[in-house]
Structure 1
Amino acid sequence: MRVLELGYGEAGGVANLREAIVEHLSAIRGVIAHPDQVVILPSTRTAIDLLAFLQLRASGNSVAWVEEPGYASAKALLTTAGARIVPVPCDEAGIDVTRAEGPPPGLIYVTPSHQYPTGATMSLQRRLALLELAHKSGALILEDDYDSDFQYGSRPIAALQGIDRHATVAYLGTFSKILAPGIRVAYAVLPRWLLPQAVETLRLRGIAVPVHIQAALADFIRDGRLRAYLRQRNTRYAERMHATREALSNRCGHLLSLESGSGGLQLASWFHDQSTDDTAVVRKLHEKGIAPQAMSRFFEGRPRPGLLFGIARSLPENAEKLAQTIADVLARE
């Protein structure tokens, strides 16, 4: 590490890290950008808050379209920034802008590669429709690519940003999900028109990641260790996802329908009985030391009950026992 890297550094982040991120994203995600379009931030939440503040103020349009169901924290951040939330239905092909109701958006938040929380991948047709609508309405799309590095059935689908021809997409990613939450490093790949305001706001607010962390992470990526680490983790997480899904299917399949589990670190499931109180079920499971989330909490409108399971720490050898405990709790509800 050079001594100069221990100064305050550029507001957008250490140049070596920005270059390494672009090399990594262009190779595995099809992102098309120059390193100076990357800004380094402490978290994806910071990026959402910053970009919502800038876009809603600049556009004069406070309407924000979000996926339904969708990421609750993103909706809370957008609301705090002054956005009027409009939920747009999602299905197995991703967000469907033809089903949106209400005024055109100034901002659109999506998770196209691995929809949170359902795990759906947005189809090419839906992607093109979304990009066209954003272009016509002058909206900024926030593409949150939070866990696309974890794909078990196929190669990751290319990012929405890579097929954007009108500079409507801000691409968000994080190393906290890949490596560890405690490192506090995320990034945003921004359209050039948004860069000056974003970098100046970062500087004024003093939002930064320590430069020694950035420099070390740049070396980690450039030396090929990130790619090797991801290969290893994908193998391990694929085993955990498969074991979790198989066990739940065996023990709880008569009560729950499960999503494919083809990627990511969460497995979504839905109750066959639509009258089930999933929040009550979650409370009972928490008493047993099992901590899924209620799917109903991800809806703005009429909820669909289900459970969202995390698989990152789920050991295959324990999967059947845990699934049986879940089945026992569900049987009593």
Structure 2
Amino acid sequence: MNIPDDAFYTLLENALAQRGGVTRQRALYHALRDAILAGKLQARSRLPGSRTIAQRLTLSRNTVNGALEQLALEGYLLRDRKGSQVATLAAQNTFSVNTNSVSLPAHLMQLPSGSQRDSPPLLFTPGTPALNYFPLPLWRRLLTRVLHEESCTLLGYGDAAGEWSLRVAIARHLALARGIHCDASQIIITEGALEGLSLCARLLTQPGESAWIEDPGYLGVKSAFTAAGLVPEAIPVDNEGLCFANFTALPPRIIFTSPSNQYPTGAVLSAARRLALLTFARQHHAWIVEDDYDSEFRYDNAPIPAMAGMQPDAPVIYLGTFSKTLFPALRTGFIVLPPALALAARPVVGALLRGGHRAEQRALARFIEEGHYARHLAAMRRLYRKRQQQLRAALANHLTEPFTITGGNGGLHLTITLNAIDDVMLARQARQYQLAPAPLSQFYLDKNRVRYGLVLGYGNTSASQFVPAIERLQQLITRLRHQASGK
């Protein structure tokens, strides 16, 4: 060997002493492999025999031989009747690692920073439903029943467009709840809304084409469209939703809107603008992606019908997800394509998606068909309505800083605007107190239009925590104001 026997055995003894929960054989394997890769055991070095190693380390010979045979199988050792010899590998240390030498493609560098996900979620985290109210025992029974009845048949890939039973259940629910009359063949199951957006971009656009997105708006839209090579164009939002009438941008190939409850402002796209947007899309051969965000949770009146159901054969792809109505980890969403587009897309869906999560999709289909979904939505609607009222009261009574609430007639969050303030710093400081409101300014693409404030998620925050949390936010705002004024 190229190292003394004592150093060799010390290396192995230390590895065995620090092996934690791994087996002795595995610890021995890792110690020898790492020593070879690091150059401590050089090429053509001959190791002591397995009997000698076993006796010195007080191990069984089978344990030692198992480690040596695995190393030989992977090409680190050469074994023959004379024993084990270190194989000649490509040079390991002939170059230095430069962590700054790798650059991602330029269009990926334009993506917005991903949201920080905490587990469990912090107070006021936007977009998180009341997880402790989800009927987990019922869900467990449905999942167990599906696995018992279907057994190993659900372990394969399945239909790339998703389980047929779930698509049928979604079509029935949409007809009753959203006024969308579609066939199950028009529905594609996705892993949440973001994959649905990415799929729309791949099906409908070419790199370099224009995509209109709401400003402020959901940052995932910019991520999906930018990653697809599109050129996002920020279209302003006012209290009637997407404000495009006098906008002079290039005609888009794809338009994203959340007309029922715009995120984060809570604006509702008026009927006049919905019809105008449909007309505009037809005139310019554009597609509208309708994100029906939080549409199930309206507190002032009945849910607003979807754009996709307003006109026959409308150029609208309807985007839905169960992340907000059930739980985010389900990772199940869907898109509804117009009939002609569904027919055209059918041959390529299998090349773009792989079927999966079959048991969960079958269980979800039963959850919907047996009426559990409608009952859960009704219960959550009552809970969220009450929580929103209590949050409004807490803001009115305990936030002395002047503020304005935008939207707020539905959904799982309230957005408050504040006079010019570093809301990013405010949100960062709030995290130190287990609060996670989102800074409003980060949702703007056009910094000339930016407004400041906080997006307060109340879906997974108990009403008993509102008052102390709002009081803490007021303290942080006061501190920031004093720091800004130099006091």
**Shorter-normalised TM-score: what interval?**
over 0.9
Q: 2:453 aligns with which of 306, 314, 323?
A: 306
Q: Which amino acid in the other structure matches residue 137 of structure 1?
A: H
Q: 1:243-282 residue pairs with structure 2 within 5 A?
A: 243-252=390-399, 254-271=401-418, 273=419, 275-282=420-427
Identity %: 34
Whole-angstrom CA distance in 2 between matches of 1:121 and 1:103: 25
2:182 aligned to 33, 38, 46, which one? 33
Q: Which moved more, 1:161-170 or 1:250-259?
A: 250-259
Distance 1:306 1:198 in 2: 42
Aligned-partner residue type, residue 337 of structure 2 = L
Which secondary structure does the structure 2 equivalent of 1:243 belong to?
helix
Partner of 1:208: 355
Contact 1:54 1:198 (C-alpha < 8 Å) held by counterparts: yes
The CA distance in 1 between the partners of 2:158 and 2:433, in whole Å, is 48
Which sits farther off after the overlay, 12-21 or 203-212? 203-212
- Specify the alignment match of 2:202 in structure 1: 53
CA pair 253-231 structure 1, distance change in 2 beyond 3 A? farther
**What CA distance in whole angstroms lies between the structure 2 residues aligned with 1:307 and 1:89?**
19
Query: Which of 274, 277, 291 lines up with 2:436 in the alignment?
Result: 291
Residue type at the aligned position of 2:422: D
Deviation of 1:201 after TM superposition, in Å, equals 3.7
Alpha-carbon distance in structure 2 between the residues aligned to 1:6 and 1:164: 40
CA distance in structure 1 between the partners assigned to 2:426 and 2:208 by the alignment: 40
Which 4+ stretches in 1 moved above 4 angstroms?
A: 4-7
Could you say which residue in structure 2 is the equivalent of 1:20?
169
Which 5+ residue runs of structure 2 have no aligned equivalent?
A: 1-145, 481-487
SS of residue matched to 1:331: helix
Tell me how far apart the structure 2 counterparts of residues 207 and 90 of structure 1 sit (CA, whole Å).
36
Q: Deviations over 1:241-279 (max 9, x none)?
A: 1111221122225422112422111111101x2x31111
Deviation at 1:87, TM superposition (A): 1.0
- Contact persistence 2:290–2:318 (CA under 8 A): yes
Q: Is this contact kept in 1: 2:264–2:415, CA < 8 A?
A: yes
How far apart, in 2, do the equivalents of 1:166 and 1:195 lie?
Answer: 12
Give how far 1:95 is off: 0.5
| 1:124–1:53 distance in 2 versus 1, CA, 3 Å | same
State the shift of 1:167 in Å.
3.1
Is 200-209 or 62-71 further displaced after alignment? 200-209
Question: What amino acid is the match of 1:114?
Answer: N
Distance 2:474 2:337 in 1: 46
Aligned to 2:27: none
Give the number of equivalent residue pairs: 329
What's the C-alpha RMSD, in Å, of the aligned pairs? 1.7
Contact 2:216 2:264 in 1 (8 A): yes
Aligned equivalents of 1:97 and 1:201: distance in 2? 33
Task: Give the match for residue 54 of structure 2.
Answer: none
Distance in 2 between the 1:220 and 1:191 partners?
A: 26
Q: Note the alpha carbon deviations across 1:202-260, whole angstroms, 9 max, x for none.
A: 31234333221111111110100000011111111112211112211222254221124
2:432 counterpart letter in structure 1: E
Contact 2:239 2:407 in 1 (8 A): no
**Aligned counterpart, 1:169:** 316
Aligned residues of 1:109 and 1:141 also touching (Cα < 8 A): yes
Aligned AA for 1:24? H
Q: TM-score, normalised by structure 1?
A: 0.94
Residue 242 of structure 2 aligns to which amino acid in structure 1? I
CA distance in 1, matches of 2:305, 2:244: 20
Counterparts of residues 1-333 of structure 1 (less than 5 Å): 1=146, 3=150, 7-57=156-206, 62-196=209-343, 198-252=345-399, 254-271=401-418, 273=419, 275-301=420-446, 302=448, 303-333=450-480
- TM-score of the two chains, using structure 2 as the length reference: 0.65
Separation in 1, partners of 2:200, 2:407: 32
- Contact conserved, 2:191 with 2:331, CA < 8 A, in 1? yes
Q: Does structure 2 conserve the Cα–Cα contact (< 8 Å) formed by 1:135 and 1:166?
A: no
Give 2:158's aligned amino acid.
G
Counterpart of 1:140, as a letter, is: W
The 3-state SS of whatever aligns with 1:194 is helix
Report Cα offsets for 1:15-45 as digits up to 9, x if no partner: 2111110111111111121111111111111
CA contact (8 A) 2:439 2:455 kept: yes
Larger Rg: 2
When residues 198 and 41 of structure 1 are mapped into structure 2, their CA distance, relative to the original with a 3 A threshold, is farther
Cα distance in 2 for partners of 1:45, 1:330 equals 33
CA distance in 2, matches of 1:76, 1:316: 33
Q: Take 1:318 and 1:56, find their aligned partners in 2: how far apart are those partners?
A: 46
For 2:234, give the aligned amino acid: P
| Structure 1 stretches lacking a partner, 5+ long | none
